[in-house]
Amino acid sequence: MSQKTILRALAGETQAIPPVWMMRQAGRYLPEYRATRAEAGDFLSLCYNPDLAAEVTLQPIRRYGFDAAILFADILLIPQALGLDLWFATGEGPRLSTITRAHEVARLKPVEAIHETLSPIYETVRILSRELPRETTLIGFAGAPWTVATYMIAGRGTPDQGPAHAFKAADRAAFTQLIERVTEATIAYLSAQIEAGAEVVKLFDSWAGSLQGADFHDFALQPAQRIIAALKTRYPHIPVIAFPREAGPRYAGFARATGADCVALDNSVSADWAAAEVQKDGCVQGNLDPKLLVSGGAALETETRRVVQAFSKGPHIFNLGHGITPDADPENVARMIAAIRG
């Protein structure tokens, strides 16, 4: 069995001290990240500069000794590679040209064309594969099709994903075609990351919770199932983590239904419930409230230990319920890790 603790957890091993990493662990809460981003000039230039993207991926590993590094990139690089315009507005986040009609879906670039745009990302993976400490697992990732599609339709993040729901209601066939195109591109993108050296891949469905009824099955569960099945056919030894954020009770059974090796949990579900209903199917990842890394104090240490204890009877990767926020205190991250590792 691998000596890498993340891989051991993903293989189903229960460990006395769970491995730990954090979503968005390379980010604005770190002064060294802000310095490197300033050197790059802007966020997209940082994503597409393999040396600098590798550098920011390595920064939290050097500082904290996390058990995994996650590739520094963005979920909206796939829409850009498929032909949409992408830019980042200062202080406002990402902006995309939009898709709102069937003929615009048809005009997207073929999946085979994405690799030309995304080749710098694969080079970042190759650099990390060489430079990470031997004990550190390299995680690749992509956005799940529903979440990516919401940005492609609205051109930005929205509170309720309303434009995507409206497109889905107005022309379900065209919407389904969009999901299929993004699904195919995601399989190709993650396959290329694995070929470059990713040891695990994660599928982020940040807006899965806004899908209801059959829509959750059709546009969250089924695309994940299709992506994971394709990857497992090509790379049966590569574990896949699925994160259908805010799925609530639908976290239960998600691993069985999709073939995921691990289900990542947000902090809207209790660790005790998830241990009983989700962990019985295999590894779980999560689920400390990110706000505790802002407030710190005794509550941070108490809650960290509580999460560890709740999941202690099965395979567990310690993580946050969502990404660490820019206002988090780097010292609180060190306190969290100390509480995990004792």
C-alpha neighbours within 13 Å on the C-beta side of residue 217 = 3
C-alpha neighbours within 13 Å on the C-beta side of residue 257 = 17
> What is the domain extent for residue 129?
5-341
**Across the chain, which distance is largest between two alpha carbons, in Å?**
57
Residue 89: the pLDDT is: 80
Task: Name the domain count of the chain.
Answer: 1
For the question of residue 134 being annotated catalytic, the response is no
User: pLDDT tens digits, residue range 103-117?
Assistant: 999 999 999 999 999
pLDDT band at 293 (very low <50, low <70, confident <90, very high): very high
- How far is 74 from 47, CA to CA, in rounded Å? 7
Q: Out of 24, 181, 226, 245, pick the active-site residue.
A: 24
Q: Out of 37, 63, 126, 306, pick the active-site residue.
A: 37
Contact between 325 and 290 (Cβ < 8 Å): yes
C-alpha neighbours within 13 Å on the C-beta side of residue 221 = 18
pLDDT score of 91 more than 80: no
For the question of residue 172 being annotated catalytic, the response is no
User: pLDDT tens digits, residue range 295-324?
Assistant: 999 999 999 999 999 999 999 999 999 999
CB atoms closer than 10 angstroms to residue 121: 24
Continuous H helices in the chain: 5-10, 31-40, 43-47, 50-64, 77-81, 102-106, 114-131, 145-154, 162-170, 172-196, 214-216, 222-234, 254-258, 271-277, 292-295, 297-310, 330-341
pLDDT band at 121 (very low <50, low <70, confident <90, very high): very high
User: pLDDT tens digits, residue range 205-261?
Assistant: 999 999 999 999 999 999 999 999 999 999 999 999 999 999 999 999 999 999 999
Q: Could you report how far apart the first and last alpha carbons of the chain are, in Å?
A: 25
Amino acid at 302: T
For the question of residue 62 being annotated catalytic, the response is no
Selection from 64, 10, 4 nearest residue 264 by Cα: 10
Ramachandran sector of residue 260 (left: φ over 0; alpha: ψ -120 to 50; beta: rest): beta
Average pLDDT over the chain reads 97
Residue 1: the pLDDT is: 54
User: pLDDT tens digits, residue range 150-187?
Assistant: 999 999 999 999 999 999 999 999 999 999 999 999 99
For the question of residue 24 being annotated catalytic, the response is yes
Q: Out of 29, 64, 151, 189, pick the active-site residue.
A: 151
Q: Which long-range contacts (CB under 8 A, 24 or more apart) does 11-14 make?
A: 11/239, 11/315, 12/282, 12/283, 12/315, 13/315, 14/312, 14/313, 14/314, 14/315, 14/316
- How far is 51 from 121, CA to CA, in rounded Å? 10
Both tokens of 21, joined, read 């990493």
* Average confidence (pLDDT) over 59-72: 98
Both tokens of 97, joined, read 């040209």
* Average confidence (pLDDT) over 187-191: 98
Q: Quick check: helix, strand or coil at residue 262?
A: strand
Residue 90: the pLDDT is: 76
Q: Out of 28, 95, 126, 250, pick the active-site residue.
A: 28
Selection from 138, 122, 253 nearest residue 192 by Cα: 122
Q: Which residues pair with 202 in a beta bridge?
A: 141, 241
CATH of the domain at 64: 3.20.20.210
- How far is 163 from 82, CA to CA, in rounded Å? 20
For the question of residue 151 being annotated catalytic, the response is yes
Q: Out of 74, 215, 218, 329, pick the active-site residue.
A: 74
Contact between 137 and 200 (Cβ < 8 Å): yes
Sole residue written with tokens 């983590």: 241
Which percentage of the chain shows pLDDT scores above 90?
97
